Amino acid sequence: MSAQDILYHTILLVEDDRRLSAAIAEYLQQQGLNIETEYRGDQAVQRILELKPDLVILDLMLPGLDGLEVCKQVRADYKRPILILTAKDEDFDEVVGLEIGADDYVIKPVKPRILLARIRALLRRFDYSLTETTAPQNKLLIFGKLTIDAKNREVKLNQQQINLTTKEYEMLYILASHAGQTLSRDQLFHLLFNHQYDGLDRSVDIKISQLRKLLEPNPSKPIGIKTIHGKGYLFIASAW
């Protein structure tokens, strides 16, 4: 993805260090991105939901509300990528970050080229997921009491709307679109992130666990999203 490709993307940078914020904003603007800034966590929630940027860069330590809490509060309504900024000496748990909806993180001090590469990768993944994993856009998947509306990116179970993060929704759509077919972790990772699985990343397992907690009557004994030992995961159409 070139600078020309990302020219029309808007990013909200939430960083309380104004000198660092200005430096990051200036660099990213030079690369063709439209940058909006916010300095407080307790103001970031409303700003994210009102602006609905293509991506949020979110510092972990913020006045008013920390970055993880901001991420947690907006995730039900904000479906685009969130990139966490964290210092080396901060107590940041990658798994916790993924569980509450963060898509990636970068360690401070920020290296501009690395930050740009992560931003491009997240935008590419999101744009890919919109064009590939949800096509056709108007498709409606119905499995008993579970409905997946691809046009509006909405999921309902027992007529109740289920709030999913972007990646949770995309994982569910991928599984449901291949109902009755066992998909390996490698296949799911590639479809979800558009690059090859490295054998270590736990993102797929975390998303599966999150979906089970939201959808299964007994997440510890799933009947709708089953683990097929040694092969992968299987969506059971008749279980819903």
pLDDT at site 10: 86
Query: 10-132: which CATH number, 3.40.50.450, 1.10.287.3510, 3.40.50.2300, 3.30.70.920?
Result: 3.40.50.2300
pLDDT > 70 in the chain, percent: 83
Euclidean distance between CA atoms 212 and 145, whole angstroms: 15
Examine the pLDDT at 132 and tell me if it is beyond 60.
no
Could you tell me the fold of the domain covering 134-239?
A: Arc Repressor Mutant, subunit A (1.10.10)
Cis peptide leading into residue 219 (ω within 30°): no
- What pTM was estimated for this model as a whole? 0.55
| Greatest distance between any 2 Cα atoms in the chain | 56
Q: With 0-12 CB in 10 A as exposed, 13-18 as middle and 19+ as buried, what is 103? A: buried
Question: In the 3-class helix/strand/coil scheme, how is 146-160 assigned residue by residue?
Answer: EEEECCCCEEEECCE
pLDDT digits (tens, 9 = 90+) for 11-27: 999 999 999 999 999 99
The secondary element (H helix, E strand) that includes residue 1 is none
| Sequence ranges of the chain with CATH classification 1.10.10.10 | 134-239
| Sequence ranges of the chain with CATH classification 3.40.50.2300 | 10-132
